[in-house]
Structure 1
């Protein structure tokens, strides 16, 4: 019986020893740091020997650069979106362009030479190379014109780019320590950080801090292995372009004069006779006439001379709306065609002794045009400035779908940015409404001023309104379904005459800053938000309050004579 008891105790003791060993082994395994090392090629997701990982401002990006003949080349989209959006790549003609304040730099793909306006220069290696339909640009070439610094590290290839300046945090390793993929001692090791090695602290946690080493490896270190965080400051040594503008030392009072044929130029004296205070006239003289960038002209030197004798500058308008067969996208997205357009505009400005050009390009498809429109403005600006010609650009009231107009960049290159503060409701609208309610215009000005300095902003105002005609059979359901409401354009006097003919009355509406009239005749309801001296004064007060560069008016001939008394009280 004793032998049996001893056997049982022996078995139990052995079981306890085994259990204890298992617990100890588990504890050792749990608390022993992993010595597994993460392969950096895998960490950076590199698949080819010529690929280069890109670390941008403490973050490993998904984009890859390439090593070509020992030099770093980076794809155009990354350059444009992250380093310098002023670079423009024409994938139709395989040419890279960059506009400075005075010159246009251009580099053809696979060539070592490039152009600075009309002068040729040799770079010594390819500036742009194409791989699988992707344009790669020499990073050092990009850096010449851009505000960033970079460091190239090998094994594996990676570049660490810094383009954000100001304060950042650092710490040093108290002793040799492991940098791991994630927080936790079981996470694979990315690198062994040496004692006193400095790292950039990206995020601080309770026990682990996210850091980046000087060679661009981002991971986690135990907080107890790091010294106290210190704050440092990064400073840029880049000198950006300083943009100069041709600006007047007086408020702009501009009016558009619609000219549809040569003989209409002869009416300039009679058109101006009923006005006061105008110092800039913009005749609608030029328009895109084909898909090669050629323009049609209705210009008249006699017209210009007459205006100059009256002390009035001429900023001729160039449009893309008249010839429906001319494809604006085709012209703007092909450098040879776009530059032909630029050259023709400037040639006309010189030939007719114009003081300025007013660009009015509308109804463009932003997705198709992309950056081609703003590149057109850059290139036109350089040649206008070199010839002393003022450049103004017409813009819609800011909306998300017009962001490709890039008003902020326009402000760098163009002299004036014009807000077309009208067509809030337009032909084909599904609801009747004002052409330019005060709240809508005010918001448009505020949004523009977020991107453009006030002394470059000209507020465009309408001399016309719309008379909306709503048949009695129309229902609210029709409007909700997007049915178009018929309307007709009326000038100021014509609108007043129309109301008088129907014996209609008008009432002032503070919310839209306009007189309003509504009446029914022969089963049709008419709605009119009037444009007159009172509505114009509300917007002119806005010009004065916001210290804008001035105002412009569409179009001469639509106004009543009393409007000029109001205009000259605010624009002088």
Structure 2
């Protein structure tokens, strides 16, 4: 019996030993550290010898850089998006532009030299901007001449650290030689080795592992037990470039600007009549200067005697320059696309301003296509240089801001111009699909809120309409005509229209059906509706009011406006 038990015990012991060994192997395989290394080219998604991954702050972004002839480049769109949107690519001129408060700096694509509008030039020793296929790339060393940011390039594989903000960050010290792994876990692939004493940026703390960024911008995971001395660090901002100050000619008092719509030279003779009843008016803007060719030729119906008469009445003259009343065969797109054309128009405007003795230029460019947005904003910058140099007040007329006109770039206008005038009307216009107010209260209020979110209120002027529209619906067809306040009052009286207050519009509304079956509607602009708009302007503490256009108002409106200007 004893002889039979001993072999059984031995067998059981062997089973236990073998099981223990197997369990130990399983445990070792489960808990041991993998020494498999990640393919770093795949990690950074490197596609060629010139391809460079970008780590922006603490995150790898989708956009790529290029390493060309030993210099780092980013595509133009990425430069604008992440670094500096003041760069402008003039494709018609095959040149890269950068415009400051006093000069335009131009670098021809493919050149190592830049030249500015004062005649200064420099050979920087590398190609400033170059095309690769259809894409324009800009050297980051050139971007740094006008922008405060930090970049550092690494090779094998190519990647770059790009830093544009200087927020506090959490850092830690590695307390023992270890590895940075692709994911949290001992079986994850190794990205790089970390040595004791290395500093890493702490991005996300988990239960057993922490997501970190190494000093050479690899992002992965380290065991918590390998981190010590976790603390907060305040990075030292890069301040290599000091942006030239955009000085403003702020008048220091509320502006009351009346637009004087002049159709021809003879219209200048109406000056006395249109200002006769105006109270508190301190600026007049006659529609004098007109773009008239692709080359930037400007036609003028200005009058020096008009300016003298205005000055005698204590009015400044901010002459209006538009792109829609010229009689020449021209394209705004073509004009805006070329530096020579833009400068030609600016030179002519300055000569005319000097000759006539005006106090300012009012830019009124309308129906700018989205594709021309950057060219338009570049023109806005360039014109600001000339106005600043000549001591002219520079104001710009804009639509009520909405998503479809974001390319007018109110934020940039608010920096380079002295005043931004919001044309707070034409909510419903001749081509509208439905009848409605020319300028409802909510339309004006939202316009002011959206504008002052981008432009300092001390530079914002809101323009109100001195006109309204009478709408007619007949046989399903909608039509309208714009009329003066007095004509609207006469229409209401002649047709015995009963007005009711429209709270949302902030206006009196009336309607009637004619004997022929035509349905007629009117949202009345008058002293009461203008007063409602002024209350909104007070609430936003803006720079003043403008009116389109002089001669279309009733006298009682001026009392309401004067109360606002003189308070």
TM range (shorter): over 0.9
Residue in 2 that maps onto 1:329: 333
- How many residues were matched structurally? 561
Aligned equivalent of 1:379, options 382, 387, 390? 382
Aligned equivalent of 1:365, options 363, 369, 379? 369
How far is the alpha carbon of 1:245 from its aligned partner? Answer: 0.4
Alignment of 1:534 onto 2:517 = no
Tell me the distance in 2 between the aligned counterparts of 1:511 and 1:68. 60
Residue in 1 that maps onto 2:227: 226
Residue in 2 that maps onto 1:109: 109
Tell me the distance in 1 between the aligned counterparts of 2:220 and 2:360. 57
How far is the alpha carbon of 1:128 from its aligned partner? Answer: 1.6
Tell me the distance in 2 between the aligned counterparts of 1:152 and 1:307. 61
8 Å contact kept, 1:428–1:485: no
Alignment of 1:504 onto 2:508 = no
How far is the alpha carbon of 1:140 from its aligned partner? Answer: 1.6
Tell me the distance in 2 between the aligned counterparts of 1:258 and 1:287. 13
- Segment of structure 1 superposing worse, 448-457 or 12-21: 12-21
Alignment of 1:287 onto 2:295 = no
How far is the alpha carbon of 1:109 from its aligned partner? Answer: 1.4
How far is the alpha carbon of 1:442 from its aligned partner? Answer: 0.9
SS of 2:275's equivalent in the other structure is helix
Residue in 2 that maps onto 1:479: none
Residue in 1 that maps onto 2:345: 341
Alignment of 1:27 onto 2:27 = yes
- Segment of structure 1 superposing worse, 279-288 or 234-243: 234-243
Aligned equivalent of 1:545, options 502, 525, 539? 539
Tell me the distance in 2 between the aligned counterparts of 1:432 and 1:235. 58
- Segment of structure 1 superposing worse, 285-294 or 188-197: 285-294
How far is the alpha carbon of 1:401 from its aligned partner? Answer: 0.9
8 Å contact kept, 1:359–1:393: yes
Tell me the distance in 1 between the aligned counterparts of 2:507 and 2:71. 64
Aligned equivalent of 1:443, options 443, 446, 458? 446
How far is the alpha carbon of 1:373 from its aligned partner? Answer: 1.6
SS of 1:322's equivalent in the other structure is coil
Q: Deviations for 1:499-549, whole angstroms, at most 9, x for unmatched residues?
A: 111111222333322111122212122111101111111122333332211
Tell me the distance in 2 between the aligned counterparts of 1:551 and 1:75. 42
Residue in 2 that maps onto 1:265: 268
How far is the alpha carbon of 1:447 from its aligned partner? Answer: 1.0
- Segment of structure 1 superposing worse, 344-353 or 243-252: 344-353
- Segment of structure 1 superposing worse, 399-408 or 516-525: 516-525
Aligned equivalent of 2:564, options 544, 553, 570? 570
Residue in 2 that maps onto 1:556: 550
C-alpha distance 30-334 of structure 1, shift in aligned 2 (>3 A):
farther
Tell me the distance in 2 between the aligned counterparts of 1:65 and 1:340. 37
8 Å contact kept, 1:75–1:137: yes
8 Å contact kept, 2:441–2:504: yes
Structure 2: tracts of 5 or more residues without a match: none
8 Å contact kept, 1:113–1:120: no
Tell me the distance in 1 between the aligned counterparts of 2:332 and 2:209. 56
SS of 2:237's equivalent in the other structure is coil
C-alpha distance 525-406 of structure 1, shift in aligned 2 (>3 A):
same
Residue in 1 that maps onto 2:141: 140
Structure 2 length as normaliser, TM-score? 0.93
8 Å contact kept, 2:40–2:157: yes
Tell me the distance in 2 between the aligned counterparts of 1:456 and 1:179. 53
Residue in 2 that maps onto 1:78: 78
- Segment of structure 1 superposing worse, 418-427 or 115-124: 115-124
Residue in 1 that maps onto 2:416: 413
Residue in 2 that maps onto 1:246: 249
Structure 1 length as normaliser, TM-score? 0.92
Tell me the distance in 1 between the aligned counterparts of 2:18 and 2:368. 80
How far is the alpha carbon of 1:436 from its aligned partner? Answer: 0.8
Residue in 2 that maps onto 1:477: none
How far is the alpha carbon of 1:46 from its aligned partner? Answer: 1.9
How far is the alpha carbon of 1:91 from its aligned partner? Answer: 2.3
Report the aligned-residue RMSD: 2.4
Residue in 1 that maps onto 2:465: 462
How far is the alpha carbon of 1:558 from its aligned partner? Answer: 0.8
Structure 2 matches for 1:46-65, cutoff 5 A? 46-65=46-65
How far is the alpha carbon of 1:224 from its aligned partner? Answer: 2.0
Alignment of 1:514 onto 2:507 = yes
How far is the alpha carbon of 1:374 from its aligned partner? Answer: 1.3
C-alpha distance 348-15 of structure 1, shift in aligned 2 (>3 A):
farther
Tell me the distance in 2 between the aligned counterparts of 1:241 and 1:307. 35
Q: Deviations for 1:257-282, whole angstroms, at most 9, x for unmatched residues?
A: 11111111122122222322211111
8 Å contact kept, 1:210–1:221: yes
Tell me the distance in 1 between the aligned counterparts of 2:378 and 2:285. 23
8 Å contact kept, 1:169–1:201: yes
How far is the alpha carbon of 1:568 from its aligned partner? Answer: 1.1
SS of 1:144's equivalent in the other structure is coil
8 Å contact kept, 1:419–1:457: yes
Residue in 1 that maps onto 2:485: 492
